[in-house]
Structure 1
């Protein structure tokens, strides 16, 4: 039995040696040597770096696209919210004309007759309808405070005034209007020197 075991051990060693030779032959056939392995590793490393760069570029482009999409949504909302702005601006001269017409019609106290009083009443009713419609559509007159504010007022002249301090508004020559939170037209004013 000891002879059989020894023979079996010799056979196993022979098989292992043959397997080693086959592996060496296979690796020899493929032509791989240590320099080729390092070239493949460097090529693999280079590919991984390129992949990482492409992933970074993709993530940046995606983030930029999302930012553009959000900005366009905001601009769309603003354009819808302020779509009537130009139309409102075009109505301001009509409002000015009605106010001037009303101011030019004498009242009965100022010597006007009955027909002029009726005309004055009609112009006043039309003007009141305009004011209500403007309020309904968020158009309002620029508040006139005593101090001049270049954001809301346009000073067209300076006048001498003993009653006003320097920089105070003396007279409103043309009303200014706001549409929501935007200035449609600044108020034209005269300011004290």
Structure 2
């Protein structure tokens, strides 16, 4: 019976507290809007000026992005055009490298011949041909006497050398290597000292 009387007393105490709060003008169950305050979750209506400012900022952002995209496109196409012009004749020049090798061998034979006027005439033609290729960006790779570099050279064979300073260096060049606009188009085939 003590428990029932305790429960009854607690319920009466709650009712007394609620009645006291209502009498004092405080009701915790009343909506906040009644007292004049607004809910923070409700959207605030934008003024026409702030809507126009937001639209203007969005348009500016789109314009800046479009301008940046166009600038990137212009730079990329200019770079691609330059690369295309530099390597446009690459296949033709690569095919002419064999002819250039033959010219070098013929020049050596002409220097050994007795007919100097023929040798000079043919040398003029060969030099003109070399100059035209050099004007197009062809450059001979200097390999003899340099350290062997697998990025530049292709080792055909190795030979024993007596001189310690020639070990690991290119001793002879079988086929010349070439650059076209500072890019390797043919590796030099070389003999390396060991």
- Give the alignment's TM-score, normalised by structure 2: 0.57
Q: Distance in 2 between matches of 1:132 and 1:69?
A: 34
Aligned partners of 2:77, 2:58: CA distance in 1, in Å?
A: 28
Q: Please list every run of 5 or more consecutive structure 1 residues that lacks an aligned counterpart in the other structure.
A: 1-33, 109-113
Q: Superposition pairs for residues 42-191 of structure 1, below 5 Å?
A: 52=57, 55-103=60-108, 107=112, 117=115, 121=119, 124-144=123-143, 145-163=145-163, 164-191=165-192
**In structure 2, how many angstroms separate the alpha carbons of the residues matched to 1:192 and 1:51?**
73
SS at 2:166's partner residue? Answer: coil
Contact 2:86 2:181 in 1 (8 A): no
Deviation of the 1:133 alpha carbon? 2.7
**Given the superposition, is the C-alpha separation of residues 118 and 159 from structure 1 closer, same or farther in structure 2, using an over 3 Å criterion?**
same
Q: Do the aligned partners of 1:98 and 1:123 also contact (CA within 8 Å) in 2?
A: no
* TM-score for both structures, normalised by structure 1: 0.58
Change (3 A) 1:90 1:39: same
Partners of 1:106 and 1:71 in 2: CA distance: 50
Cα deviation for residue 187 of structure 1 reads: 1.4
Q: How many angstroms apart in 2 are the aligned matches of 1:41 and 1:77?
A: 53
Higher helix share: 1
Check conservation: 1:101, 1:123, Cα contact below 8 A: no
Task: Give unmatched runs, 5+ long, in structure 2.
Answer: 1-37
